[in-house]
Amino acid sequence: MTNLSQVAPEFVEKVILVGNPNVGKSVIFGRLTGRYVNVSNYPGTTVEITRGEVRDRGRLIEVIDTPGVYSLHPMSEDERVTRDILMSEPGSAVLQVCDAKNLRRSLMITAQLSEMGLPIVVVVNMVDEARERGVMPKIEKLSEEIGVPVLGTVAVRGKGTDRMLSLLPEARPACVRIDYGELVECAVSEMEKLIPDDSPIGQRAIALMLLSGDDSLSAWLATAISENRIREMNDVRNGLVARMGENIAYHVNQKRIQWTERLLVRMGIEASGPPSNGMAQRFGRWAMDPVYGVPVLLAVLLIAYGFVGAFGAGTLVDLLQNRLFGDALIPAVKRVADAIIPWEIVRDFLIGDYGVISMALSYAVAIVLPIVGTFFFFFGVLEDSGYLPRLAVMVDRIFKRIGCNGKAVLPLVLGLGCDTMATLTARILETRKERLIVTLLLALGIPCSAQLGVILGMLGGVGLTASVIWFAIVVGTIVLVGFLASKVLPGDSSDFIMEIPPIRFPQIGNLIVKTMARIEWYLREAVPLFVVGTVLLFVADRTGALAVIERVSQPLIVRLLDLPPKTAGVFLIGFLRRDYGAAGLYRMAQGGMLTHVQVLVSLVTMTLFIPCLANFLVIIKEHGLKVAIGMALFIFPFAILVGAVLNFAIRHLGIAL
Amino acid sequence: MTEYGQDEILELIWSLREGGRPTREALLRSTEEESPESLLDELESGGFVDLASDEIRLTKTGEERARGIIRRHRLAEVLLANLFDLEDSQIENSACKFEHVLSEAVTESVCTFLGHPPVCPHGKAIPRGECCDKIRTEILPLVTRLTDAGLGDTVRIVFITPKSRKRLEKLSSLGIVPGSRIRLLQRNPSYVLQVGETTVAVDRDITDEIFVKRT
């Protein structure tokens, strides 16, 4: 299916983590491999495959984390990723992770895994939550029923997880045989004859997928099956459709559900006290209540502003930029440089106008880092608490207007952290149309945390009117462009069917690890680009290229937007990193080079400006070069246009800022 | 089959009246019955219509009988169109048979089950029945849309009529299937359901397609 099948032969064993969304696969992956992958409390955190390894008593085991699935009959891109990895990694064992509260749904996947003939170990996670609610199934009975090792865990606290590896050698295909009724069974056995013996997963599973009308198998079919065979397969399926209609997948699912129900009854539930209904769940209800939901949202925004805007962008930036860099570090470096470096050009390279230390490092570490750090921490709290899916419920109707549904709020809010990461997360949306709209809106109008922090800091200096205008224009643009895109782009929007996880108190350990991982990622990605950008500017400045760029862009920057020529350079580096561009504006404003109107115009233009390089690359990766260039060709003139109209309006309407 | 024929004539009079004046001439032009004249005479002698003038008038008993026929016919149309997505021609054929056979109790169940629809698929008014009155002393345990289920009540799903197969599969993978017990937690800003220990948010067009019964 993919080139993934040719990886690393030195691994003795492979284990693939499979399960419903939001059951803790990534936490278990982390426990096994010691590698951190992003963990949150909402379905769809993992959209790609992550690989890691673990050594257990001399054996080297490769561990593969997969996106959560509702079914192995894929309905969205991330579900398909999981099904495909099961087909392309023959010889792997499967660690099926289940939610103890929702074992019913996990068992549906167990049934499908057993049809695939894959050896499995079942891990029933979150037994603490199931016991609290009085719905804990007797899982020791499960092992007897389906004949595979079953283990109860509380992965976030590390309970039971140390036994997972020792159970792996006992993994075997589950003894599950669901009778789908005579009609289907006849068709299955006919279909099985047409499927080669050496297919990567059980023929029964493939037969059922094909009969259910799974069109995502075509890539595999093209390589494995001859055209004649495919025609015969269609005959078998058409024969079945003629006798029982198109709802084969539904019928199959119904039979599986009946099997799970009977199995659960045979297993029974642990005796327990009355289920507790805590504060957390009450808050969970309020957060998506049409009345209480609004104050909850406002409170969340207020806390975000206080923590990220006031504490991060205010106190911490002041501490780092003015105290650490301004008062201590840069003067010290300057003294040392003056003393030991005889060449002026080298000194300028380090601490001049476009110096690596005075510009790149002080932007990256002193201005952007504290803002990104506080944002990532706060965002982590939101993710782990389970608030975000409730926000999706609140905004669903608004998002309908822009051709998406409430689910689209997840990538958009994540975009406030980093548009690049968020563009990847757009995969949780089911249709291409929705993914395109969200990708476009992310690239166009969603400022990333670093940029947002800098913008808020600057707007704070200009006043409330400017802040309101900026906010209204950005939100208005997002809604307008989303609305137009939903009319122009072909295709459908998907149903809003979204699982709401329980509200949980964030685990401080996970929060810290997650924030640190994101900060590390930020430093690794951003700082080199900051340095590269600064070096480019330094060279451009020295060679006179910067002057040329400023002159060429004069008609746009100076005439249309009424900004100082120097802004051209800032916009230029804004393409490398948007936050870097914003930080450049911040410096210019601090230096008194911008009037209030100019601050507002430049901020609006910068917010809507083309996405940064990394984001652009991810758009190419997800949607192809043509789409990416198309988006850039729309966004670039559009941003300048909005800036120009705003500039014109303010000056001619005489709005005082 | 004179009763059948009488029903057809009464139905036609009602429809003609909706479009203007039901004259004898217009009736004879549009009817498909074999001997409309004699059917009209039967109806007159039965006290259902008044043929004194050119315009055919329904008597009080005739009005009631026609009302019932129209009501059953149009409810049947809604039932067939909404639930089974049948073609217009098929709907018309079957609805014509339904109108003669549905008993009063069944009609009320169908009406309640469909949520007391005010108009038929062609946009014509459906005469109201007793069951449509809001103020009642007793509430009957009937099938309703999940959309109309009481907040917090546990109900059992009777069947689902999804727009697409994909939707049905998605719902069933979340455990929302006929037979499962479900609770409607809130309606705004989205519908929130609880199935077992799973909480799911969905749109109204989905809860409209899930039919439930009180348990």
Q: What is the pLDDT of residues B39-82, one digit of tens each?
A: 888 888 888 988 888 888 889 999 999 999 999 999 888 888 77
Distance from CA of B151 to the nearest CA of A (A): 13
Question: What average pLDDT does range A381-400 have in this prediction?
Answer: 89
Q: How far is CA B102 from CA B96, B108, B115, in A?
A: 11, 10, 18
- Choose the most confident range, by mean pLDDT, from A231-235, A276-280, A327-331, B175-179: A231-235
- For residue A654, is pLDDT > 80? no
Q: Do B188 and A104 touch (CB under 8 A)?
A: no
CA A11/CA B193 separation, integer angstroms: 45
Region class of A336: left (phi > 0), else alpha (psi between -120 and 50), else beta: alpha
Question: What average pLDDT does range A59-87 have in this prediction?
Answer: 83
Residue A138 lies in a domain: yes
Per-residue pLDDT at A39: 65
Per-residue pLDDT at B168: 81
Per-residue pLDDT at A646: 93
The residues of B whose Cβ lies within 8 A of any Cβ of A are 165-175, 177-178, 185-186, 188-190, 192, 196-203, 206
Which two tokens mark A23?
A: 């059951």
Q: Do B173 and A70 touch (CB under 8 A)?
A: yes
Domain enclosing residue A438, as ranges? 293-493+509-653
- Helices and strands, number each (H, E), in chain A: 31, 7
- The angle, 0 to 180 degrees and rounded to 10, between the axes of the packed helices A508-543 and A567-576 is 130
Nearest to A70 among B170, B189, B192 (CB): B170
Hunting for tokens 């994909």 — which residue is that? B166
Per-residue pLDDT at A46: 67
- A126 and A191 together in one domain: no
The proportion of chain A whose per-residue pLDDT surpasses 90, expressed as a percent, equals: 21
- For residue A8, is pLDDT > 50? no
CB-CB neighbors (< 8 A) of A501 in chain B:
199
Q: Do A101 and B203 touch (CB under 8 A)?
A: no
Which two tokens mark B152?
A: 């917090």
Q: Is A50 helix (H, G, I), strand (E, B) or coil?
A: strand
Asked if A502 reaches chain B (Cβ–Cβ under 8 Å), the answer is yes
Q: Do B201 and A285 touch (CB under 8 A)?
A: no
- For residue A310, is pLDDT > 50? yes
**Per-residue buried b or exposed e for A208-231, using 16+ beta carbons within 10 Å of the residue's own CB:** bbbbbebeebeebbeebbeeeeee
Q: Which residues of chain A from 18 to 57 reach within 8 Å of chain B, CB to CB?
A: none
Order of strands across the sheet with A497-500?
Answer: A497-500, B198-202, B191-195, B181-186, B154-160, B210-214, B143-145
Size of interface A-B (CB pairs under 8 A): 109
Distance from CA of B136 to the nearest CA of A (A): 30
Per-residue pLDDT at A535: 86
- For residue B165, is pLDDT > 80? no
Q: Do B201 and A406 touch (CB under 8 A)?
A: yes
Residue of B169, B177, B204, B208 to mutate when probing chain A, most A C-beta within 10 A? B169
- Indicate the range of A7-21, A251-265, A306-320, B101-115 predicted with least confidence: A7-21
Q: How far is CA A91 from CA A73, A112, A281, in A?
A: 21, 17, 43
Per-residue pLDDT at A536: 83
- For residue A274, is pLDDT > 60? no
Hunting for tokens 């911008």 — which residue is that? A594
Residue A298 lies in a domain: yes
Q: Which helix (H) or strand (E) holds B186?
A: strand B181-186
Asked if A520 reaches chain B (Cβ–Cβ under 8 Å), the answer is no
Q: Do A105 and B198 touch (CB under 8 A)?
A: yes
- Indicate the range of A40-54, A507-521, A544-558 predicted with least confidence: A40-54
The neighbouring-strand residues paired with B125 are B119
Asked if A406 reaches chain B (Cβ–Cβ under 8 Å), the answer is yes
Q: Which CATH class is domain B64-132?
A: mainly alpha
- For residue A17, is pLDDT > 90? yes
Contacts for A415 with CB less than 8 Å, ≥ 6 apart: A422, A423, A442, A446, A448
Question: What average pLDDT does range B93-110 have in this prediction?
Answer: 82
Nearest CA in chain B to A245: B165
Q: Do A250 and B175 touch (CB under 8 A)?
A: no
- A621 and A514 together in one domain: yes
Question: Would you tell me how many other CB atoms lie within 10 Å of the CB of residue A648?
Answer: 14
Residue of A101, A282, A498 to mutate when probing chain B, most B C-beta within 10 A? A498
- Indicate the range of A203-207, A529-533, A600-604, A644-648 predicted with least confidence: A529-533
CB A480 within 8 Å of CB A403: no
Q: Which CATH class is domain B143-214?
A: mainly beta
CB-CB neighbors (< 8 A) of B171 in chain A:
497
- A309 and A251 together in one domain: no
Domain ends where: A249, A267, A285?
A267
Question: What average pLDDT does range A357-361 have in this prediction?
Answer: 80
Nearest CA in chain A to B175: A105
**Residue A2: pLDDT band with limits 50, 70, 90:** very low
CA A607/CA A609 separation, integer angstroms: 5
Asked if A287 reaches chain B (Cβ–Cβ under 8 Å), the answer is no
Residue of A500, A503, A504 to mutate when probing chain B, most B C-beta within 10 A? A500
CB A606 within 8 Å of CB A588: no
- A126 and A163 together in one domain: yes
Q: Do A290 and B189 touch (CB under 8 A)?
A: yes
Backbone angles phi, psi at A147, to 5 degrees: 70, 30
- A633 and A563 together in one domain: yes
CA A583/CA A450 separation, integer angstroms: 9
- For residue A126, is pLDDT > 70? yes
- For residue B139, is pLDDT > 60? no
- Tell me the three-class secondary structure of A55-106, residue by residue: EECCEEEEEEECCCCCCCCCCCHHHHHHHHHHHHCCCCEEEEEEEHHHHHHH
Mean pLDDT of chain B: 83
Question: Would you tell me how many other CB atoms lie within 10 Å of the CB of residue A458?
Answer: 24
Per-residue pLDDT at A578: 77
Q: Do B173 and A71 touch (CB under 8 A)?
A: yes
Question: What average pLDDT does range A489-500 have in this prediction?
Answer: 85
Which two tokens mark A5?
A: 């099948």
Distance from CA of A121 to the nearest CA of B (A): 22
- For residue A1, is pLDDT > 50? no
Q: Do A396 and B170 touch (CB under 8 A)?
A: no
Nearest to B196 among A73, A104, A393 (CB): A104
CB B49 within 8 Å of CB B13: yes
- For residue A114, is pLDDT > 90? yes
Domain ranges of chain B: 2-58, 64-132, 143-214
Region class of B94: left (phi > 0), else alpha (psi between -120 and 50), else beta: alpha
Which two tokens mark A203?
A: 């023929």
- For residue A596, is pLDDT > 50? yes
Distance from CA of A379 to the nearest CA of B (A): 22
Question: What average pLDDT does range A334-346 have in this prediction?
Answer: 86
Q: Whole-model pTM above 0.90?
A: no
- A132 and A66 together in one domain: yes
- A120 and A187 together in one domain: no
CB-CB neighbors (< 8 A) of B174 in chain A:
70, 105, 497, 499
Q: Do A135 and B197 touch (CB under 8 A)?
A: yes
Residue A280 lies in a domain: no
- For residue A377, is pLDDT > 80? yes
- A187 and A166 together in one domain: no
Residue A375 lies in a domain: yes
Which two tokens mark B191?
A: 């519908």
Per-residue pLDDT at A43: 64
Contacts for B57 with CB less than 8 Å, ≥ 6 apart: B49, B50
CA A638/CA A526 separation, integer angstroms: 26
CA A165/CA A185 separation, integer angstroms: 37
Q: Which residues of chain A from 288 to 307 reach within 8 Å of chain B, CB to CB?
A: 288-290, 293
Question: What average pLDDT does range A402-417 have in this prediction?
Answer: 87
- Indicate the range of A69-78, A233-242, A304-313 predicted with least confidence: A69-78
- A212 and A301 together in one domain: no
- A166 and A191 together in one domain: no
- For residue A594, is pLDDT > 90? no
Residue A274 lies in a domain: no
**Residue B140: pLDDT band with limits 50, 70, 90:** low
User: How does DSSP assign A491-511, residue by residue?
Assistant: S-PPP-EEEEPPP-PPPHHHH
Nearest to B190 among A104, A257, A393 (CB): A393
Asked if A394 reaches chain B (Cβ–Cβ under 8 Å), the answer is yes
Asked if A214 reaches chain B (Cβ–Cβ under 8 Å), the answer is no
- Indicate the range of A314-318, A601-605, A638-642 predicted with least confidence: A314-318
Per-residue pLDDT at A47: 67
Q: Do B192 and A396 touch (CB under 8 A)?
A: no
Residue A282 lies in a domain: no
- A104 and A206 together in one domain: no
Distance from CA of A494 to the nearest CA of B (A): 9
- For residue A250, is pLDDT > 70? yes
- For residue A215, is pLDDT > 50? yes
Question: What average pLDDT does range B1-29 have in this prediction?
Answer: 85
- Indicate the range of A87-96, A157-166, A265-274, A402-411 predicted with least confidence: A265-274
Distance from CA of A250 to the nearest CA of B (A): 6
- Indicate the range of A152-161, A255-264, A463-472, A517-526 predicted with least confidence: A517-526
Amino acid in position A273: G
Which two tokens mark A327?
A: 């008062």
- A16 and A69 together in one domain: yes
Contacts for A79 with CB less than 8 Å, ≥ 6 apart: A67, A69, A70, A71, A72
Per-residue pLDDT at A627: 92
Number of domains in chain A: 3
**Residue A12: pLDDT band with limits 50, 70, 90:** low
